[in-house]
Structure 1
Amino acid sequence: MTEKMRVIVADDHDWIRVGVTRLLQAAPGVEIVGEACDTHGLASLLDNCECDVVISDIGMPGLDGGSNAVSFLRRVLRGRVHPPVVVLTMTSQAHMLSGLLHLGVSAIVDKRDTAAALIDAIQAAMAGDVYLSEQVRIVMKTTEAPPQPRAGVLSAREWEIFQLYAQGFAVHEIAARVQRSGKTISTQKRTAMRKLGLETESDLVDYARQIGLI
């Protein structure tokens, strides 16, 4: 007998979480091993349940007062061993979607595409592929140069620099804090922006706000 894919579903909207759970329960080869309504619940499930795929909204309340789940999901994806993550979202901002891919998300499904796309997204995630639902692909086409998924995941240092800059630290302040030259910090900041698909300072601030950094 083929083993079922063990799935955790996390969304702070009850009707979406219930709808996704019912959809997957009706699919052969899928077992729901946990449901969470916030990031704390998702963290607890990941600590206590073995799962093969995480399906998560990013708009849930985050840990440590964060406004969403993106920072937590990044920590999950930075783990040496971790389940693939399928993100559910309604965002229509291409740079935000690009940033999720570069954080290591396996699939992005617009909530308007859920019924038609979710099983395909899970299968792609399990196979190690990247999947974008139809509405997500439409949004991504608005960028002049769509990013190559996972072409450049931020290093730990680049992520640190990006966070500090987004929080208002000047380049020279960051340089002193991490004991690097200002030129090095500027280069790492530009590299991080490029990998996240951000072109302007305004894009950087907007993205940082969306993922709860500011």
Structure 2
Amino acid sequence: MDTKIRVIVADDHPIVREGICACLRQDRRIDVVATASDANSLATQIADIPCDFVLSDIGMQGVNGESNSIAFLKRLVRQVPRPYIVAVTMIAHPQMVAGLFHLGVDGVVDKRDTAQSLTEAITAITGGRRFASPHAWEVLSAVQDGASAGAGTLSAREWDVFRLYASGMTIPEIAREFGRSSKTVATQRRCAMRKLGLRSELELIAYLQQIGLA
């Protein structure tokens, strides 16, 4: 192939970022043209460097201090033209994974799958198909009928509530920390869970574990 597939890799963990790059560079079709450590640097790289694919973690910090990069990816999928977008994630919540496809990403690769899934994603998407790695497919199969997809972005305060809740603080303790009522904090937690498609305390705890907060 004379023209290589240009890829930008984004992840806030250097070892993961370099591991993805090393895997991709073994494929002679692919040229890793840039890397990024958060959504701000990813936005800059996309603006400055032409690329065909963006492989991006969704848990890294967003453009405006947002809790994740989903809001940025949501804006990116609406651009015309745009690169293909593959979300790379450890999150294994059915509604959230389904929500990523609902937003318009072209593929989802679970970080627990083999590195080969990265190049398989590029091959499938270049061929006109959406792609989900084996673990991602397994998660998607657990989506219940009628369940709403939920890959949302939390406000700064909602994220703070999640962070403190994950640290072991109770709702009344968080309320005192922010000078708010317990009812207000409970509402913020409930709204954040709804944005993410989390329907129970167990699902919330699992999500916090998957993103490394608990």
Q: Tell whether 2:18 aligns with 1:18.
A: yes
> What is residue 30 of structure 1 aligned with on the other side?
30
> What is residue 75 of structure 1 aligned with on the other side?
75
> What is residue 206 of structure 1 aligned with on the other side?
196
Cα separation, 1, equivalents of 2:191 and 2:60: 26
Give the alignment of 1:58-73 within 5 angstroms: 58-73=58-73
> What is residue 42 of structure 1 aligned with on the other side?
42
2:67, 2:154 within 8 Å by CA — same for their partners in 1?
no
Cα separation, 2, equivalents of 1:135 and 1:129: 18
The alpha carbon displacement at 1:111 in A equals: 0.4
Cα separation, 1, equivalents of 2:56 and 2:196: 21
Q: Deviations over 1:146-173 (max 9, x none)?
A: 99xxxx9xxxxxx9xx999xx9xxxxxx
The alpha carbon displacement at 1:140 in A equals: 1.2
Instruction: Give the aligned length.
Output: 164
> What is residue 5 of structure 2 aligned with on the other side?
5
Q: Deviations over 1:10-46 (max 9, x none)?
A: 0000010000001111111100100001111100001
Relative to structure 1, the CA distance from residue 55 to residue 146 in structure 2 (aligned partners, 3 Å threshold; closer, same or farther) is farther
Cα separation, 2, equivalents of 1:134 and 1:206: 22
Letter in 2 for 1:17: R
The alpha carbon displacement at 1:60 in A equals: 0.6
Pairwise CA RMSD = 2.8
Cα separation, 2, equivalents of 1:30 and 1:47: 20
Relative to structure 1, the CA distance from residue 137 to residue 2 in structure 2 (aligned partners, 3 Å threshold; closer, same or farther) is same
Cα separation, 2, equivalents of 1:126 and 1:36: 23
Give the alignment of 1:123-202 within 5 angstroms: 123-145=123-145
Q: Structure 2: give runs of 5+ residues left out of the alignment.
A: 159-189, 199-203, 208-214
Percent of aligned pairs sharing the same letter:
36
Cα separation, 1, equivalents of 2:17 and 2:29: 19
1:140, 1:146 within 8 Å by CA — same for their partners in 2?
no
> What is residue 103 of structure 1 aligned with on the other side?
103
> What is residue 53 of structure 1 aligned with on the other side?
53
Relative to structure 1, the CA distance from residue 146 to residue 7 in structure 2 (aligned partners, 3 Å threshold; closer, same or farther) is farther
Relative to structure 1, the CA distance from residue 47 to residue 101 in structure 2 (aligned partners, 3 Å threshold; closer, same or farther) is same
Letter in 2 for 1:14: P
Give the TM-score normalised by the residue count of structure 2: 0.69
Cα separation, 2, equivalents of 1:143 and 1:206: 14
Cα separation, 1, equivalents of 2:79 and 2:33: 21
Relative to structure 1, the CA distance from residue 23 to residue 68 in structure 2 (aligned partners, 3 Å threshold; closer, same or farther) is same
Cα separation, 2, equivalents of 1:82 and 1:46: 9
Cα separation, 2, equivalents of 1:73 and 1:143: 22
Give the TM-score normalised by the residue count of structure 1: 0.69
Secondary structure in 1 matching 2:61: coil
Cα separation, 2, equivalents of 1:25 and 1:4: 11
Cα separation, 1, equivalents of 2:26 and 2:146: 35
